[in-house]
Each structure stands twice: as C-alpha cells, then as structure tokens.
C-alpha cells in the first residue's frame, strides 16, 4: 500500500465503487470509493463485518466483476488495475486472460468441488479448461506438485471429496486455485467451514505457498485471528468503505472507530484463546 513508483503493484484500486443490479430490487452500492494498492509479492488481509463488501471487492480483484448475471457486481466508479490489466470495462477475452493469472478461492470453494471427481481430477480441472489437449503426464505432475504444496498426502489423490475432512477439502480447493501458477491469489474466507483444529494448517499452507512461490495474496476474513496469523497489513472495511488500513499492530493499538476498537479487543483476547473466539464482538451485526 505504498505508492512509491519503484514498487511493482499487483493491484491498484482508485476510488472503486461496485453495485449490484437486480430486476427485483433497486441497485445496491456494495463498495463505495475504495482505494488501495498491493505491491507484488505482498500478502494483504481484508477484514470487516458481514456485509461490509469484502467479497464484492474480492470478486472485482479476481477479475470477475461485470460479467453476466444478477449475482455479479458491476464496477460503476473508479479505476482498478490488476496485474497491469485495467479491469473496468474489460471484455470477455480480456477477462478470460486475466482470470488465468489470478487464482480465486471462492467463499464456498470447498463446497464447489465436484463430488463425482477425485481429488486429482478436481485439481486438474482448470488445466483442461484452459487447454483440453494438455499432456496427461504433465497435468499429473502439476497436480501432484500442488497437492504436496498444500501439505496433503499424495495418497488422497484418488479419493472423492466426501471422503476428506473439511480442512483437507479446503486445501484441495486451494490446490485447485493455484494449479495454473497464478501471480495473484485471492482467497475469500479460506477457513470458513474448516474445523477449528485444522484451521491453522490451512492458513500455514496458504502462507507458505505465498512465500515460497512469491505469489501476491489477498486474503479475506472476518476473523482477525486468521489475519493475525498470516498477514501483517490489513484493510478494514465497513459499509462498503475502508475504515482502516495499515499494519495490524498500529491499527489495533490506536483504534480510530468502534469497529477497530472491537477488533483491538478481539486481538487482545487472542493471547488467551488462540483461534476460536476471535471475532470482534458484533462482527456479524450491522450497527
């Protein structure tokens, strides 16, 4: 989030606003004038209460805003550059090219794994979606490499998703998101639905991947414990806007608004009870 010209930026958002438009409801502005910069190779966390606009912003950064459908938000203001591509008004071809370079772990990625495909087949899917005639041997190699990178035993490759634990399924989803070797990984609530006992494993796998492969990562989580474990710099959103931006320590040491004060309390409680009771009080309530 520095603006030094010498730093290569993976993401540059200037005054970005995003809206949902559906036939039944009036247009809704979910992201309101957000500006942020993420340098290449950084890991930045985005937090905030439910409904703050985190997932909407994540979709835009993943290059998926503006496509067809009511459930897809549209950028209605500002400028957004992702990996050097101007996302606002991007066409279908441009979007297809960009999404090959951005790994997107959706909020519900683990549930979206195909129940009929093995772990290896699920992970290989993006490879064949990109190139139907890709060499089977090379794909198998790439799949084994990423399964290992997310610290899953290779013995799981022929299992079906239902035969795995929640944490294993989430790591399969993570492996699938990075199998095309993206320069940028956007992970939306990567520990949602993951048993508390294995949350740290999922997070450590994510952080190690980011470090070892020099990937830029944006990790969205409403759980401050999650971000404390892997990110030093965070963006705090509320009502579609950024209300805090910087390193976790200084944001929680001198909290400037009620949400940040709650975050500071949640953070202080972390020392006592590492990863479970880490949501700021009222984080699911719109004040």
Binding residues vs ligand ADP (CB under 6 A): 20, 22, 28, 30, 48, 50-56, 70-71
Nearer to ligand ADP (CB atom), residue 70 or residue 148: 70
Q: Which does 148 bind (CB under 5 to 8 A by kind): Mg ion, ligand ADP, none?
A: none
Catalogue the E-assigned strands of 189-258.
216-220, 233-238, 241-247
Say how far apart CA 75 and CA 17 lie, in whole Å.
6
Nearest partner of 44 among 34, 58, 26, 25, judged by Cα: 58
Of 103, 123, 104, which is closest to residue 113 (Cα–Cα)?
A: 123
Q: In the bound complex, what is the minimum distance in angstroms from residue 234's beta carbon to ligand ADP?
A: 14
Q: Quickly count: other Cβ atoms within 10 Å of residue 69's Cβ.
A: 7
* Of residues 68 and 71, the one with the C-beta less far from ligand ADP: 71
Compare residues 55 and 228 and give the one whose CB is closer to Mg ion.
55
Min dist. Cβ of residue 102 to Mg ion (A): 17
Please identify, using beta-carbon distances, which residue of 54 and 169 lies nearer to Mg ion: 54
Residue 268 phi, psi dihedral angles, 5° rounding: -65, -35
Question: Choosing among ligand ADP, Mg ion, none, which partner's interface includes residue 77 (Cβ < 5 to 8 Å by kind)?
Answer: none
Choose the binding region for Mg ion from 26-34, 49-57, 172-180, 228-236 (rule: CB under 5 A): 49-57
* CB of 46 vs ligand ADP, minimal distance in Å: 8
Nearer to ligand ADP, 150 or 234 (CB): 234
Q: Which is nearer to ligand ADP, 24 or 272 (CB)?
A: 24
Number of residues that bind Mg ion (CB under 5 A): 2
Q: Is 56 in the site for Mg ion (CB under 5 A)?
A: no
Give the integer Cα–Cα distance in Å for 247 and 234. Answer: 6
Coil, helix or strand at residue 133: coil
- Three-state secondary structure call for residue 67: coil
**CA of residue 66 relative to chain centroid, distance:** 18
Stretch that binds Mg ion, among 46-54, 130-138, 149-157, 167-175 (CB under 5 A): 46-54
Q: Is 162 exposed, middle or buried (0-12, 13-18, 19+ CB in 10 A)?
A: exposed
Q: How far is the CB of 67 from Mg ion (least distance, A)?
A: 18
User: Which residue, chain included where needed, has tokens 């899917």?
Assistant: 125
The least CB distance from residue 12 to ligand ADP, in Å, is 20
User: What span, in angstroms and rounded, lies between the C-alpha atoms of 242 and 53?
Assistant: 10
- Applying CB under 5 A, does 12 fall inside the site for Mg ion? no
Name the one residue in this structure whose structure tokens are 């998926």.
Answer: 64
Residue with smaller CB distance to ligand ADP, 30 or 202 = 30
Interface region with Mg ion, contact rule CB under 5 A, candidates 47-55, 171-179, 202-210, 261-269: 47-55
Region label for 4, one of left (φ > 0), alpha (ψ between -120 and 50) or beta (otherwise): beta
Indicate the SS3 state at residue 104.
strand
Cβ nearer to Mg ion, comparing 52 with 124: 52
8-state DSSP, 24: S
Q: Binding to Mg ion by residue 55, rule CB under 5 A?
A: yes
Write down the least CB distance from residue 129 to ligand ADP, Å.
Answer: 24
Residues that bind Mg ion (CB under 5 A): 54-55
């Amino acid at each position: 989030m520095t603006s030094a010209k010498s730093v290569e930026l993976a993401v540059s958002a200037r005054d970005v606003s995003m809206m949902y438009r559906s036939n039944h409801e009036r247009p809704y502005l979910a992201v309101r004038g957000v500006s942020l910069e993420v340098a290449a190779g950084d890991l930045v966390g985005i937090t905030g209460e439910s409904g703050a606009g985190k997932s909407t912003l994540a979709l835009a950064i993943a290059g998926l805003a503006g496509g067809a459908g009511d459930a897809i938000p549209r950028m209605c203001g500002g400028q957004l550059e992702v990996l050097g591509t101007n996302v606002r008004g991007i066409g279908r071809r441009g979007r297809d090219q960009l999404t090959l370079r951005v790994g997107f772990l959706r909020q519900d990625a683990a549930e979206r794994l195909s129940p009929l495909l093995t772990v290896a087949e699920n992970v290989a899917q993006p490879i064949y979606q990109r190139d139907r005639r890709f060499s089977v041997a090379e794909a198998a190699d790439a799949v084994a490499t990423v399964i290992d990178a997310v610290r899953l035993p290779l013995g799981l490759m022929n299992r079906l998703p239902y035969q795995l634990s929640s944490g294993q399924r989430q790591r399969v989803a993570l492996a699938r998101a990075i199998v095309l070797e993206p320069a940028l990984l956007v992970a939306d609530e990567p520990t949602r639905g993951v048993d508390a006992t294995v949350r740290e494993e999922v997070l450590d796998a994510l952080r190690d991947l980011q470090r070892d492969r020099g990937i830029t990562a944006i990790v969205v989580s409403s759980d401050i414990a999650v971000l404390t474990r892997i990110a030093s710099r965070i963006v705090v959103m509320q009502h579609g806007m950024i209300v805090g931006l910087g390193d976790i320590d200084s944001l929680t040491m001198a909290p400037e608004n009620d949400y940040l004060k709650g975050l500071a309390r949640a953070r202080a409680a972390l020392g006592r009870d590492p990863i479970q009771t880490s949501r700021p009080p009222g984080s699911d309530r719109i004040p």
